[in-house]
Structure 1
Amino acid sequence: MAPALLGHNSLRNPSLFPPFIGKNVRFFYQIVPFITCNPSPFAGKQVSSVVVRSSALKNNAQTRERQRLKEQFKIARERCRTDPMDGVTFSVEEFLDALDDHDLVSEVGTKVYGTVFGTDSTGADVNVSSSCSAFLPLEEACMYKINHVADAGILPGFEENFVIIGKNLDDNRLILSRRPIQYSLAWERCRQLQSENAVLICKIIGGKRGGLLALVEGLQGFIPLSQVSKRSGLETLIGKELPLKILEIDEKSSKLILSNRKANSEYQEQDLTPGSVVTGTVDSLKPYGAIVNVAGLTALLHISQISHAHVSDISAILKPGDIIKGMVLRYDHEKDRLSLSTKKLEPMPGDMIHRQKLVYDQAEEMARLFLQKIVEAEEAARAFSESESEV
């Protein structure tokens, strides 16, 4: 076998070797026939030196490769330590957004952000990621009873946070709801109103044993009989609006306790003299102004007294149910009617249109400054009159 193998032409022709044969191996097979066919006294030593040389070449190549990889690893490690974003073509925010799009958490109770892309009489189709759509049923679109999702302002292009409440096994789509978020906001709003000790004007929606039921920020509140000013004929109050204050809140047990007596006592303490600031609730809007309920009294906020800036559309500024502050201009004792102004409370002209909260926050201070100006004007007029009398 050996002479035949060593004498084979393929061993002398390197081009006939398969491509996967290493260079060192090729060299060995080329040199062995030459040594075999040309024997010498040192033939054994030559073969031994060739094998050693081949092994040394192979080891040197591996050493160089290891050294090259080691240097590359060292450079990469240093770059990660000093500038990890070097060469990265996207930002961390873009990376997180991509994770949100492709790794959507679909557990019940998870809050997701989506965009409505279609509506019908049964609900709305919502896109919650680049590869996932969901459905918002009509009954889950709003905490109030509505006939169509459009009644809640839900139209194609509407963007909002939703809560996952289930999954449709037929089409594998998520089922969403807005009600948990709205209820959470309503409880938060009630806690704020309680902390502000605000007087609310709420509609009585029914009665139950021991009291009345009222609607506060979309939540059902209970007015114990002991907290109702009018003890007789409670059924006549159903459907009407009463001033109320929040006594107790417990979101976990859905407890909302209200008082009509405390609200009435505070209303009666309000100063109704001209120049005083009162709190009321907008009952309705008319072309000539807003009708406001103040301590059970009817007050008019005329359109000319809303702002120093021109007001053409009252509904763009106020709406029924809004709680406002106004300065008393006049009180008609015979008719129990008030005339109010928010214009006199504006720190700057037009604030009632653009920054209502600022107007209400500084209402008492602006009323004080207004009365001070009146006093100064009266004193100046009196001084002028006395000087004329002397002349």
Structure 2
Amino acid sequence: MEKPKQLSRFDRIKAKYKGPQININPEVENEVGFSYASFDEAVAATDYSFNRNDVVKGTVVQYDKGGCIVDIGAKASAFLPLQEAALIQEQGRNIESIIDIDAERSFEIISEEDENGQLMVSLRRIQYREAWEKIIAKQATDEAFDAECISVNRGGAIFLVEGLRAFLPGSHLTGRLPDDDLVGQTLPLKFLEVNQDENKLVVSNRRAVVETQMEDLSRGDVIEGVVKALKPYGAFVEVGGMSGLLHISQISMDRIVDIEKVLQPGQKIKCMIIDHDKVNGRIALSTKTLEPEPGDMMKDPARVYEQAEETARVYLEKQEAERKKREASAKDIVLGLGDALDDLSVGMEGEGSEGADASDNLDSLLS
């Protein structure tokens, strides 16, 4: 006895998914000259040609284990696996939360037909290309953008940018270290490297922060900061999201042997900006320029911070006066050299005339 022909999965779905039913009077069917039977024959005779990497329109018709069934107009079905349903893969997420039944979308064909004539399709690959297009457009404008941290490692942190993973080196994170507390936080970023061929994205938080905040910073400004870390050579102070170095030689006019006796991590202090590198986002700080009296940072730091603005004003006025004095001295030297050069020039002209007279006398004697 001949075994009954086994239906494909799509054929079984098609038997249940009839779509809208329209009752047409047979007399009307005869009038238009086209019957449902002839329509079925035309569909059967239609040659569907699908190739790998083609992008086609399709409609989700049923959820299935590990994905969903998509009607793309072929004789057989197309299957969308869960891992190809979205660019951002979230653990524990199911297909029902990603795409709805009857949703019409564009799908990319990623396989040849199997023994049942079924194709495999993807949404993720279309979204991947669209994400790179957006990233390249962002890079062209070089504007800062926000992104969320999804993980950290020994070298830095991973951020999601348009659904793609971007690496943030620890050296380009301002004001903090890449620890577990960073996960879930959103930071402003700028691109350091964009390489679509190698699927490589490198970003910088420091660039984004520095280029926006350092525009308002100048040498001589008094700013507030928080001591973040102590090193034998000085302290790192967080200033508005940036990290500045307060060198041990710039803490006090008095010599400091043990920096921990003067500063502690988490301590709020006032500093003066004595230098900055806007390109690389580095600022040099000083508290000794804010000391009313030498050694006050060790004896009475509260007094230093209380009088910081006034002390800074006096210090800057003194520096400006000294600068003008140096310029005046340099100008006097230049003017003095000018007078000396003029005298030298006159002397040379006089020697030249005496030489000419001697030559005339010798000529007259020879004649």
TM-score range for the pair, normalised by the shorter chain length: 0.3 to 0.5
TM-score normalised over the length of structure 1? 0.40
Bigger RCO of structures 1 and 2 (CA < 8 A, at least 6 apart)? 2
